[in-house]
Amino acid sequence: MPDTAIEDLLRDLAPQVLGVLIRRYGDFDAAEDALQEAMLMAATHWPVDGLPDNPRGWLISVGQRRLIDAIRADAARRNREAVNAIRDPERLCAAAPDPADAVIAALTDADLPSLASPPDRPNSATGGTRCATAGNSGRADSVQPNRSDAGASPSGSDHPRPAAATTGRSGPAGLGGTDPDAEERDDTLTLFFLCCHPALSPASAIALTLRAVGGLTTEEIARAFLVPEKTMAQRITRAKKRLAAEERPFTMPMESLGQRGEWNDRLDSVLRVLYLIYTEGHTSGGERLHRVDLSNEAIRLARALYRVLPDNPEVTGLLALLLLTDARRAARTGTRGELIPLAEQDRGLWDRELIIEGVRLATASVRSGLIGPYQIQAAIAALHSQALRPEDTDWPRILLLYNALERESPNPMVTLNRAVATAMVHGPQAGLDLTDTLDESLAGNHRLPAVRGHLHEMAGDYEEAIAHYTAAAQLTTSLPERNYLILRAARLRRA
């Protein structure tokens, strides 16, 4: 398998493996460290030895062994300190007992030996892959990808048994807890809910989840939140420290009186996480306009959430929005990867099946009224998808929907989109007037001068349009967008 394919596979598996490790051991930082070591080993050995039969189980096994070694090393350190304290009466009086010692000892003695013992070496006839790893104790463990993880169910699932921290907790069917099908499902969606902890502000919870589970870099998250990268890095660090101070932060939320209780409290943040993951995949920075791995994963998880909460209008609206947006993917780029704007796309390339499904979901989501931002955005996307030609677009209704969206969820990007709709209904100058309110909130963001360039071009003011297109090209981190903006300015110079 090519190295790039292995990198893609590891990127896809990372959040799933992290979810298993965090839910089992409850330590975010330790689980991240163990995951990174497992992925490094995989990147080193898989290109040479071949891909294991169960890559996900392989990563979980290695990650668990790293965590076991760390727990045992910590237990040994605590025991040494206790012995030294007993030998020194003055230190004994000063040393306060730590309740965590009992937990570590119980976990080490009762739950970990089967994981610590090396699995049988694979038979070469089975095509399994073996990898020797040295733990902190100095012993070598061989990883057997052809057998289920220690602690997994007899069915061969690579999910370990629930940790003590999750015992007795339950969530909505399909999101872990006592669901009998949990052994057959990855933990990514559940981990989204666990990371969106009520102890964190929504912005911090969303940022942490995007970084730890969603596969986005700090730079990408900062761009989504319209803040400097340094600010976002500090926010994520503070969120981790805040969770570390909580007692059992990754315990499964309780249901309340037959309702979803704490789960429901976290739903808005989870929806925002899925939306931002898709957005980054749909319009990514760098050399590619699309990151299909991100957009596909966001849709997959949105479908999973919809199966659990089919009557929630915002869950339905989000899935409809993602499907309707993704239906245009094939038409958004040309043969050389260049960006093609909506008005110039070949609408025959749009995915009609996704449009039909998306419109059906969007229609279902608004039966109880337009009460949420994802419902409204799905309705806007549905109107765009039903226009066979650009001139058939129902801009007056789209403008009404943007007005409603700004009332429901005010933010600079909504205002910028409303400015475009305003220009299409009331003329470019009306749209330009609206962009004047965004100079501070969108300072340094390439989308503001890009929209202004488009509106000046509509108004026939090519000199101003060229200046704004050029400024936008200098600000964007996306190579296809930069090339499009430069080309647009060049065409106007020749006009």
> CA-to-CA distance for 306 and 110, rounded, in angstroms?
38
CA 75 to the chain's CA centroid: 34
pLDDT score of 418 more than 90:
yes
Amino acid occupying residue 354 = L
> CA-to-CA distance for 473 and 424, rounded, in angstroms?
24
Q: How confident is the model at residue 323 (pLDDT cuts 50, 70, 90)?
A: very high
> CA-to-CA distance for 379 and 112, rounded, in angstroms?
52
pLDDT score of 58 more than 60:
yes
Q: How confident is the model at residue 214 (pLDDT cuts 50, 70, 90)?
A: confident
User: Can you give the pLDDT at residue 129?
Assistant: 37
Task: Flag the least confident range among 63-72, 173-182, 297-306, 325-334.
Answer: 173-182
pLDDT score of 122 more than 80:
no
Task: Flag the least confident range among 158-172, 195-209, 399-413.
Answer: 158-172
The full set of domain ranges for the chain reads 1-114, 190-247+265-302, 309-410, 420-495
pLDDT score of 132 more than 80:
no
As a whole-number percent, the residues of the chain with pLDDT over 70 amount to 75
Task: Flag the least confident range among 96-100, 252-256, 320-324, 346-350.
Answer: 96-100
Write 484-489 long-range contacts (CB < 8 A, 24+).
Answer: 484/338, 484/339, 484/341, 485/446, 485/450, 485/453, 487/338, 488/453, 488/457, 489/453, 489/465
> CA-to-CA distance for 368 and 160, rounded, in angstroms?
41
Q: How confident is the model at residue 187 (pLDDT cuts 50, 70, 90)?
A: low
User: Can you give the pLDDT at residue 340?
Assistant: 93
Q: Which fold has domain 420-495?
A: 1.25.40
pLDDT score of 156 more than 60:
no
- What is the mean pLDDT of the segment spanning 446-460? 96
Quote the tokens at residue 130: 């073996």
Amino acid occupying residue 139 = R
> CA-to-CA distance for 470 and 18, rounded, in angstroms?
43
User: pLDDT for 19-33, tens place per residue?
Assistant: 778 777 767 778 888
pLDDT score of 318 more than 70:
yes
User: Can you give the pLDDT at residue 492?
Assistant: 95
Q: How confident is the model at residue 1 (pLDDT cuts 50, 70, 90)?
A: low
pLDDT score of 177 more than 50:
no
> CA-to-CA distance for 145 and 121, rounded, in angstroms?
10
User: Can you give the pLDDT at residue 87?
Assistant: 65
Q: How confident is the model at residue 402 (pLDDT cuts 50, 70, 90)?
A: very high
